[in-house]
């Protein structure tokens, strides 16, 4: 692998042991995947931030590191809101450990925004090279923005943040970004909600595995693309997809689709995922809500009172942009929490059945929270949560 003079200095230990070890890790990863060089990155997004997922061993490893991030870097959601953890019902013992994890990342110069939607906080551009780890964020960056990132593991993304580079292989290279299968959605989807696109992603992810799908027959907006990609990354391992006439690479590039397998999808296959089962709580914001989604939830909850725990998750940056909308949501009794989500917070384990509007949450809640998950539109979530 070609390394420049700076890299050689780091490998020689001239910038400290942590950075040396981190670059060794990146070089080893690059060799495994056949990278010829490292590529500078615009930003990093680091998973492995919830104490629920990394535990004591992960905390000890983080605490042993000593270097500062050299590019903008944020954390993935953690197990609780940094400020309002008591209000969410997080136990003190867990909170102390989670705070220690956050403090360890802060010492490494990682911004304490804990979110799977870093693209709402910092402009990310077409063609930017990134080292992001959360699967829905990776899918959004690659597909909706046209930036370039592999799905990094937590240590790989942290190493990239501390070195400012990542191995140049996989989705960093144009030749690996071409469609590999066509998904032809046969029904009109004009009235589809984010939940419908999430359910489509749930269904398609199961069929395509890690191949790059090229969709025809749909025209989702950006929030709907976010839900579609998150779900495909959950039931499959889709880190990049294209939508004809919508996503930037599909608009800019005349892809050759001849010879690709083509799978038709009927709306009935999607609708059967919508089951009317009783639930004990509602959780919206997987991936974290955009400003538009918060506005929609506020509009739907206006004048209503929630009858069961009703969680809304968004990044602190999005919450801070519009505190009046957040107040309007909370007036109903619903709670808008930053930094965490229905999958990584241990609080959600107290419920037997949770209603979500996300295909990704539909896939993850059963395993991560040991609860039954029901999917519905935001409108359905509000109706069920307030009736």
Nearest residue (CB) to ligand F3S, 145 versus 168: 145
Let me know: does 334 contact 302? Beta carbons within 8 Å.
Answer: no
| Residue 226 touches ligand F3S, criterion: CB under 6 A | no
- How many residues of this chain interact with ligand F3S, rule: CB under 6 A? 16
Q: What gap in Å lies between CA 222 and CA 241, rounded to an integer?
A: 13
Q: What gap in Å lies between CA 359 and CA 270, rounded to an integer?
A: 11
Let me know: does 373 contact 362? Beta carbons within 8 Å.
Answer: yes
| Residue 284 touches ligand F3S, criterion: CB under 6 A | no
Of the listed pieces 149-157, 190-198, 298-306, 338-346, which binds ligand F3S according to CB under 6 A? 338-346
- The distance of Cα 93 from the centroid of its chain, to the nearest Å, equals 27
Nearest residue (CB) to ligand F3S, 10 versus 281: 281
CB 45 → ligand F3S: shortest distance, Å?
A: 10
Q: Return the residue of 23, 232, 270, 344 that touches ligand F3S, per CB under 6 A.
A: 344
Let me know: does 181 contact 261? Beta carbons within 8 Å.
Answer: yes
CB 27 → ligand F3S: shortest distance, Å?
A: 29
Nearest residue (CB) to ligand F3S, 94 versus 214: 94
φ/ψ of 198, rounded to 5, equals -65, -40
Nearest residue (CB) to ligand F3S, 119 versus 313: 313
CB 136 → ligand F3S: shortest distance, Å?
A: 4
Give the three-class secondary structure for 319. Answer: helix
Of the listed pieces 171-179, 200-208, 254-262, 284-292, which binds ligand F3S according to CB under 6 A? 284-292
CB 218 → ligand F3S: shortest distance, Å?
A: 21
Nearest residue (CB) to ligand F3S, 22 versus 147: 147
Let me know: does 359 contact 375? Beta carbons within 8 Å.
Answer: yes
Kindly give the residue spans of alpha helices, DSSP state H, lying in the chain.
Answer: 5-11, 17-32, 51-63, 85-88, 92-107, 135-140, 154-163, 194-208, 222-235, 248-252, 267-271, 291-301, 316-321, 323-330, 359-369, 378-386
| Residue 312 touches ligand F3S, criterion: CB under 6 A | no
| Residue 317 touches ligand F3S, criterion: CB under 6 A | no
| Residue 288 touches ligand F3S, criterion: CB under 6 A | yes
| Residue 79 touches ligand F3S, criterion: CB under 6 A | no
Positions in 177-216 near ligand F3S (CB under 6 A): none
| Residue 375 touches ligand F3S, criterion: CB under 6 A | no
DSSP letters for 118-185 = GGGTS---TT-BEEE-SHHHHHHIIIII--B-----HHHHHHHHHHSEEE--GGGSGGG-S--EEEEE
**Distance between the two ends of the chain, CA-based, in angstroms?**
61
CB 116 → ligand F3S: shortest distance, Å?
A: 3
| Residue 54 touches ligand F3S, criterion: CB under 6 A | no
Q: Return the residue of 133, 136, 149, 166 that touches ligand F3S, per CB under 6 A.
A: 136
| Residue 151 touches ligand F3S, criterion: CB under 6 A | no
CB 340 → ligand F3S: shortest distance, Å?
A: 8
Nearest residue (CB) to ligand F3S, 146 versus 201: 201
| Residue 364 touches ligand F3S, criterion: CB under 6 A | yes
Q: Tokens 């615009």 map to which residue? A: 42
Using CB atoms within 10 Å of the CB of residue 310, give its burial: 0 to 12 exposed, 13 to 18 middle, 19+ buried: buried
Of the listed pieces 32-40, 86-94, 185-193, 283-291, which binds ligand F3S according to CB under 6 A? 283-291
**What DSSP state is assigned to residue 272?**
T
Total number of residues shown for the chain: 387
Nearest residue (CB) to ligand F3S, 214 versus 364: 364
Footprint of ligand F3S on this chain (CB under 6 A)?
Answer: 76-77, 116, 134, 136, 230, 286-288, 313, 341, 343-344, 360-361, 364
């Amino acid at each position: 692998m070609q390394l420049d003079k700076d890299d050689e200095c780091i490998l020689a230990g001239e910038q400290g042991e942590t950075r040396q070890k981190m670059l060794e890790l990146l070089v080893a990863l690059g060799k495994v995947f056949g990278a010829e060089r490292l590529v500078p990155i615009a930003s990093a997004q680091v998973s492995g931030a919830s104490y629920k997922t990394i535990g004591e061993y992960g905390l000890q490893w983080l605490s042993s590191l000593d270097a500062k991030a050299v590019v903008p870097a944020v954390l993935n959601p953690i197990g609780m809101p940094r400020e309002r953890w008591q209000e969410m019902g997080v136990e003190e013992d867990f909170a102390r450990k989670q705070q220690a994890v956050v403090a360890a990342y802060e010492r490494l110069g990682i911004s304490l925004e804990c979110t799977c939607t870093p693209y709402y906080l910092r402009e990310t551009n077409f063609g930017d090279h990134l080292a992001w780890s959360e699967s829905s964020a990776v899918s959004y960056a690659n597909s909706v923005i046209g930036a370039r990132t592999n799905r990094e593991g937590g240590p790989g993304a942290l190493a990239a943040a501390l070195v400012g580079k990542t191995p140049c292989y996989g989705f960093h290279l144009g030749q690996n970004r071409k469609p590999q299968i066509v998904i032809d959605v046969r029904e009109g989807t004009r009235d589809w909600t984010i939940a419908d696109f999430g359910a489509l992603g749930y269904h398609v992810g199961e069929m395509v595995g890690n191949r790059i799908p090229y969709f025809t027959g749909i025209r989702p907006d950006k929030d709907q693309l976010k839900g579609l990609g998150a779900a495909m990354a959950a039931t499959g391992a889709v880190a990049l997809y294209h939508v004809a006439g919508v996503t930037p690479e599909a608009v800019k590039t005349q892809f050759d689709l001849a010879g690709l397998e083509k799978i038709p999808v009927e709306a009935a296959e999607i609708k059967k995922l919508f089951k009317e089962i009783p639930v004990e709580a509602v959780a919206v914001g997987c991936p974290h809500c955009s400003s538009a989604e918060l506005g929609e939830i506020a509009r739907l909850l206006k004048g209503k009172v929630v009858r069961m725990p009703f969680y809304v998750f968004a990044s602190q940056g999005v919450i801070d942009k519009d505190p009046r909308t957040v107040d309007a949501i909370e007036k109903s009794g619903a709670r808008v929490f930053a930094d965490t989500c229905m999958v990584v917070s241990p609080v959600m384990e107290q419920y037997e059945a949770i209603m979500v509007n996300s295909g990704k949450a539909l896939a993850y809640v059963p395993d991560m929270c040991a609860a039954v998950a029901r999917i519905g539109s935001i409108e359905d979530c509000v109706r069920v949560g307030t009736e």
